[in-house]
Amino acid sequence: MADKVPSIRLNSGYDMPMLGLGSYNNFKPNEVGDAVKAAIQMGYRHIDTAWRYKTEPEIGATVKELIQEGKIKRKELFIVTKLWVHIHEPDQVEPHCRQSLEALGMDYIDLYLIHFPMAFEDEEFTKPTMTDYLDTWRAMEKLVDKGIVRSIGVSNFNKQQLERILKMDGLKYKPANNQVEMSPYLAQEDLLQFSLKNGISTTGFAPFGAPGQDYIPKDAPKTLEDPTIVQIGRKYNKSSAQVILRWGIQRGFALVPKSTNPSRLAQNMDVFDFKLSEEDTKAIVALDRGYRSNAHLFNTWKDHPFYPFVK
């Protein structure tokens, strides 16, 4: 099954599978480990986590178990994790990265991302600082030189912030990836095309609008129930989730939907036997309403110079 999943060649020279498993927190004990085990056995090779999610230890233990059982080899996996907002000072970056490596029980990370462009004094983002992400990026580059990270990138960065990194003096490594929210209600076409033009891959999180997450407002739009997407699904005999994943892959970005349900994990993987027409792809892009599911979590800081969610 894994050979069915297409990959994106990163500007670092490594390949990233276009479909992965997200592991945002709010899991019960052993739940994420069971999901990772089921996913890998189904053919998933791209596993997305972060220090913030608190899932690195369980993911690492599960991967170690599968390697010891001969079910998978480390080199066959693409592991992504992220630097959280209270560790942006350059001298903190490597120790924090090594903390994630230890939690994962691995010698290297395939892709390491700056989780958010704004820095904060504490992990609960209650008080922002003016630490410049360019200084953080220079520290990230050193991780590649030391061989503990293969590729580096960012998350939740906008076009202007990517441009600023690309134009920085002494840039050694361009961002290999920008992980941002991407869904039919947040198509981010301009950001996607800018990234493609500049050799920066994109990964979309919350492709279904993050239903069921505790931070989602009760009146949030239900992407999976959108009439246009439901109708397109009927046309191809596919679920709304499968249509959205196929739409993303055809647009050229990777996706990391979260699920702990084995049947949904299998369903999400079953998107490589059909192709959306150009008309259907455009119809889904036309649903874009600029709806960002997590923006309200950071609106308090919208006047900060590094606030990313600007139009």
Residue 309 belongs to some domain of the structure: no
Residue 53 belongs to some domain of the structure: yes
Q: What is the CATH number of the domain that holds 59?
A: 3.20.20.100
What number of other Cβ atoms are within 10 A of residue 279's Cβ? 8
Bridge partners (DSSP) of residue 151 are 111
Residue 10 belongs to some domain of the structure: yes
Q: What is the pTM of this model?
A: 0.96
Q: Which residue range forms the structural domain that includes residue 166?
A: 2-301
Residue 306 belongs to some domain of the structure: no
Q: Which amino acid is at 203?
A: T
Supply the pLDDT for residue 297.
85
Task: Pick the catalytic residue from 24, 44, 53, 112.
Answer: 53
Residue 311 belongs to some domain of the structure: no
Of 113, 105, 110, the C-alpha closest to 150 is 110
Phi, psi at 252, each rounded to 5°: 100, 15
Q: Which amino acid is at 109?
A: I
Q: How many domains, in total, are found in the chain? A: 1
Residue 111 belongs to some domain of the structure: yes
Of 149, 180, 163, the C-alpha closest to 12 is 149
Is there a catalytic annotation at residue 53? yes
Supply the pLDDT for residue 210.
77
* pLDDT tens series, the chain, 311 aa: 556 899 999 999 999 999 999 998 667 888 999 999 999 999 999 999 999 999 999 999 999 999 999 999 999 999 999 999 999 999 999 999 999 999 999 999 999 999 999 999 999 988 999 999 999 999 999 999 999 999 999 999 999 999 999 999 999 999 999 999 999 999 999 999 999 999 999 999 999 987 877 777 888 899 999 999 999 999 999 999 999 999 999 999 999 999 999 999 999 999 999 999 999 999 999 999 999 988 888 889 999 999 999 86
DSSP string, 162-206: HHHHHTSTT--S--SEEEEE-BTTB--HHHHHHHHHTT-EEEEE-
Sole residue written with tokens 């599978």: 17
Q: What is the strand order of the sheet 20-21 is part of?
A: 20-21, 46-48, 78-83, 109-114, 149-155, 177-181, 201-205, 254-255
